[in-house]
Amino acid sequence: MLPLLQARIANLWAILADLITEVTVVRVDYHAFRLKVVLTDGSTLRINEQYNLGKLEQYAYYWLDADEQLRIGWDNAPHHRRLPNFPHHKHVSSQDNLQPAAETTPAEILASISEQLS
């Protein structure tokens, strides 16, 4: 798990370098990790990734504003089958506002955040 975690942190810095103030490893176990990323505008990105045999199987990237309110949360939990691009989806401003997600990889999600903050 450590090489995958190190790669993800390096990827964070590569895409969001000027926007990050702190990256904290919240939890690491055999097949998953959680990170908290503090951004320069006071918002935070909560990352949860789960792997199977080195392949990313489940992810949740939740971007919260400085008041801990949801801006956008991307994940691939398989519970919204009616949405195009299942299982990839996002929650915009609230858990109830579901939308299909064009961003389906961690790099695309990070790029979207970077665009919105630039």
Kindly report, residue by residue over 79-99, the tens digit of the pLDDT.
Answer: 999 999 999 999 999 999 999
Flag whether pLDDT at 118 surpasses 90: no
Mean pLDDT of 14-28: 95
57 near 78, Cβ under 8 Å? no
- For residues 67 and 80, what is the distance between their CA atoms, to the nearest angstrom? 27
* Tokens 């504003």, residue located: 65
Q: What is the residue range of 18's domain?
A: 2-117
In tens, the pLDDT along 26-48 reads: 999 989 999 999 999 999 999 99
Domain count, the chain: 1
Kindly report the pTM of this predicted structure. Answer: 0.93
Instruction: Output the pLDDT for position 113.
Output: 96
Residues present in the chain in total: 118
H or E segment and range at residue 45: strand 44-52
